[in-house]
Structure 1
Amino acid sequence: MSDPQPLVPEDVLANAKKLVGLPPIVVICGSARFVTEMDEADLRETRAGGIVVRPSFDRQSPRRLAAADPAESEALRVRLRELHRAKIRLADEVLVVGDHIGDTTRAEIIYARSLGKPVRFTHPSVAPGA
């Protein structure tokens, strides 16, 4: 009899979510210019019983996170990108919001698909390969 395959971290996370009875987790991706559409998608997904994670935006002062030092701003941009990728890893599926996909969102879609995450689009006509 062969030894069972060791669990990979993704399996451990999926099992833990099942054990504690978490509903599906949906991560919203898309350009900051679609923040209103993200709000609407957040509400729809929450009403459908999902846990929603999404990019954070400072609507009162959008530039507040920007630093005067370009190196510091770049470091922050990298940290925020990595935080969003962690949200993608945590999620059960990805919802791409908006009628345009830029380079950053395209990279997030590629990343999510590389992890085997299902990806939905509010505007399926913009889906890469559509």
Structure 2
Amino acid sequence: MPDTTHTPTARPTVVVLCGSTRFWEQLAEAAVYETTAGRIVLAPNCNLRRPHPLWDYPATADRVKRMMDNLHLRKIDMADEVLVVDPGGYIGDSTRREIDYALSLGKPVRYTHPVTEVDRG
């Protein structure tokens, strides 16, 4: 007879990935590393930079972009922390807005490519 007892365990940390979808492959790689570290990963799941029938037309693309931006903020609400995927230290306007939002909620923010004072020159 199978064991039907369930021992509750602590919920793993939930991390949301933020960053430009121009770094789609780096976002996917960060998801692999975070998942294998035992974290639950929330991430962008649509890349509006790549053609798709759901956002083929400009009016549709604008609506989907606004909806995705709002949905990503809700993912930040759900997350315990934020990981910014920022190759070369690049952070665009949308990602900056997401970072500011996360910080306003008191969420810890980590970076895949932190920029130091030495890097700034």
TM-score, normalized by length of structure 2? 0.78
* Structure 2 gap segments, 5+ residues each: 1-7
Separation in structure 2 between the aligned mates of residue 50 and residue 102 of structure 1, nearest angstrom: 25
Partner of 1:5: none
Separation in structure 1 between the aligned mates of residue 24 and residue 56 of structure 2, nearest angstrom: 22
Structure 1 residue ranges (4+ consecutive) displaced by more than 3 angstroms after TM superposition:
none
1:120 matched to 2:79: no
5 Å matches for 1:29-40? 29-40=18-29
User: How many residue pairs align between the two structures?
Assistant: 107
Residues 75/55 of structure 1: CA separation in 2 closer, same or farther (3 Å cut): same
Sequence identity percentage: 45
Partner of 2:81: 93
TM-score, normalized by length of structure 1? 0.73
CA RMSD of aligned residues (A): 2.3
Cα shift readout 1:62-99 (whole Å, capped 9, x = no counterpart): 221314252x3322211111110011000000000022
Partner of 1:62: 50
- Partner of 2:110, secondary structure, is strand
Partner of 1:7: none
Partner of 1:110: 100
Q: Paired residue for 1:28, among 10, 17, 27?
A: 17
5 Å matches for 1:67-82? 67-68=56-57, 70=59, 72-82=60-70
